[in-house]
Amino acid sequence: MAQRQRLIVGNWKMHKTISEARDFVAHLAGLLPKSPHVEIVLAPPFTALSAVADAIKSLPIGLSAQDVHWEDHGAFTGEVSPLMIKDLGCRYVIVGHSERRRHFGETDAMVNKKVAAVLRHGLRPILCVGETGEQRANGQTERVLSGQLTDALAGVGKEQAADVVVAYEPVWAIGSGQPATAEQARDAHRHIRARATALWGQDAGARLPVLYGGSVTPDNIGAFLALREVDGALVGGACLDPTQFVKILAVAHTNP
């Protein structure tokens, strides 16, 4: 059986100074498994993007920003535009992460503006969607996912679908040490793909990369990647240690 292409994204969140970022990449470079089947992307904080961009020039690693503003320029103190992100060498941008929604009040309408801006500049949004523990307990998971996807992807046409990545990150699993079960992940990913198919048609829906995120570790990544519905992972805490991150990449390489 031919191996599927995997996308593994390491989201550093608010961790690592510039010197720590350089040390991480130097350590990672000596451990990287060579695999044409695994696309590796790092998402450092804004302050370290330039340093990491330089450090990975000769490595098979892509670069992602953790967030972006939807305007190209303007009086938005503290914000970073898609033009700035692209100028740094980013190919991806994480959009709509639950921590942005929860701590900074991002709405689906704001996420939609960011998705549109990212696509307008030839970048790839990694759109995060997911339900809270209360919503899951109340049987609202599919309704929440449908609403987030429909609102965030409003105005995104079929011709742009190939540049979109979706990450299913159940809010209750992030940082909790309690990931979704394989069955929960499978069902959520199926629903996401079905919703994408309803928006863009069968071909585009089938090609959409859907990642799992939420307490991903070297010990559980294999169970998620064994699901044909899961195309990769958005990794949080476990990506901060290059040894642990390489273990995740190794599992992705060996999982058909």
The set of catalytic residues is 97, 169
> Would you give the distance in Å from CA 45 to the centre of its chain?
14
- β-pairing, 92-95 vs 61-65, is parallel
Place of tokens 């990450």: 167
Q: In the chain, what is the straight-line distance between the N-terminal and C-terminal CA atoms, in Å? A: 7
Which SS3 state, helix, strand or coil, does residue 172 take? Answer: coil
Determine contact, residues 82/120, Cβ cutoff 8 Å: yes
C-alpha to C-alpha distance for 151 and 153, rounded to whole angstroms: 6
**DSSP H or E segment with residue 125:** strand 124-129
